[in-house]
Amino acid sequence: MDKKIPVAILGATGSVGQKFIELLKDHPWFEIAALCASERSAGKPYHEAANWFQASELPKHIGEMIVQPCEPSVPGRIVFSGLDSSVAGEIEQAMAKAGKIVVSNSKNHRMHDDVPLLVPEINADHLALLKKQAFGDGMIVTNPNCSTIGLVLALKPLVDAFGVREVSVVTMQALSGAGYPGVASLDIIDNAVPYIGGEEDKIETEPLKIFGDLINDHVEPAVMNISASCNRIAVVDGHMECVSVRLGRQASAKEIIEAWEDYRAEPQEMGLPTAPGRPVHYHREEHYPQPRKHRMLDKGMAVSIGRLRECSILEWKFTLLSHNTIRGAAGGALLNAELMVEMGLV
Ligand code: NAP
């Protein structure tokens, strides 16, 4: 690419917004043209507006950028959104109306009939929905919920090889998933919270759209019974999920592990910059995967799976781990945008 594509980050001061900055600061195709947030932050240099809590250093030139309000006139052909869902709906639509390509992490447009709920390894064909989108000259593409992404990447090789009929999933979700400043320390230290508002419904419904078939520019939802229970735990990054599945046909442990290990898709074939070398890694050590050890595997873009064993209620059970603000948010959104560039949509 001769010239980098200018991009804006909406919600740049938040948990997802900060991860966008980390991943975009040396991106080969995109360059940050604007950092946007609420009126509380607008007008201030970024280093004053944001409480930078990433482990990496905030680049000086980014820290000095002045935060802008989320107005459609902001520079940037692509707009990455990490906005709070209470405001994302209206702002993202205004951006699309003004011709921007909006790639969003917020829930607001995910289940809209004409909006792709995109995981590039799984449903790149759903980008065909953009043809009938009527948000104006621009478009809106969404990322699934951060726990949904790990789950569907682990299920996809099983869906392809054997079919998946029923799924029971119990999550243990990281604190960064609650945004910044998130859960009060006195609520979570020495504790676990067995409730995350709205999360179970998202995990039970979003996979059906993602695995749905594109028929005449419409997504026909997949048939799969999913039950989710979500918990918040005292880990900074990385969502773990204990999953039980009933497959469409009998399979051995060897066949299941092979399906995961052999799995590659368009992002790997295209060599997209943010694509993991392998979307799914299977660990044979019985005490893996673990958040601290495995969340950064393959640039934080791969799902780690372990502990495949028989389940006496459904057929098989296993544990997975994926990085919620990278694969589950900012990294996933970058991969969506890279796929759109590669497909000539930008
Ligand atoms: P967050 O840390 O609370 O950040 C929210 C951002 O929205 C901040 O930059 C905030 O700016 C901005 N904002 C709030 N009110 C605004 C307004 N009225 N106008 C303009 N900007 C406003 O939340 P987050 O965890 O980054 O999540 C962002 C979105 O991504 C949410 O929709 C969330 O559900 C979704 N998501 C999060 C994760 C995750 O792991 N964290 C994963 C997947 C999806 P100020 O600082 O100026 O208030």
Asked if the domains 5-144+330-342 and 146-323 are classified in one and the same CATH topology, the answer is no
Cα of 101 from ligand 1 centre, angstroms: 19
Nearest by Cα to 244 from 320, 156, 191? 320
pLDDT value at position 217?
87
> Does ligand 1 have an atom closer than 6 angstroms to the CB of 85?
yes
Cα of 13 from ligand 1 centre, angstroms: 8
Query: Which two structure tokens, joined as six digits, stand for 129?
Result: 């929905």
Q: Are 294 and 283 in contact (CB under 8 A)?
A: yes
What does the domain layout of the chain look like in residue ranges?
5-144+330-342, 146-323
Q: Whose CA is nearest to atom 46 of ligand 1?
A: 13
pLDDT value at position 20?
98
Cα of 88 from ligand 1 centre, angstroms: 9
CATH code, 146-323: 3.30.360.10
Instruction: Give mean pLDDT in consecutive 10-residue pieces for the chain, a chain of 346 residues.
Output: 92 96 97 98 98 95 98 96 97 97 98 98 97 93 98 98 98 95 96 97 98 95 98 97 98 98 97 98 98 98 98 98 98 98 96
| Ligand 1 atom, smallest distance to 174 CA | 40
Distance CA 110, CA 241 (A): 22
> Does ligand 1 have an atom closer than 6 angstroms to the CB of 17?
yes
CATH 3.40.50.720, applies to 5-144+330-342: yes
> Does ligand 1 have an atom closer than 6 angstroms to the CB of 180?
yes
> Does ligand 1 have an atom closer than 6 angstroms to the CB of 87?
yes
Q: Which residues are catalytic?
A: 146, 239
Q: Whose CA is nearest to atom 3 of ligand 1?
A: 179
CB atoms < 10 A from the CB of 314, how many? 16
pLDDT value at position 226?
98
Q: State the DSSP string of 73-110.
A: TSS-SEEEE---HHHHHHHHHHHHHTT-EEEE-SSTTT
Distance CA 120, CA 126 (A): 9
pLDDT digits (tens, 9 = 90+) for 130-148: 999 999 899 999 999 999 9
| Ligand 1 atom, smallest distance to 69 CA | 20
Distance CA 271, CA 277 (A): 9
Which of 20, 52, 84 gets mutated to test ligand 1 (max ligand atoms within 8 A of its CB)?
84
pLDDT value at position 236?
95
| Ligand 1 atom, smallest distance to 19 CA | 26
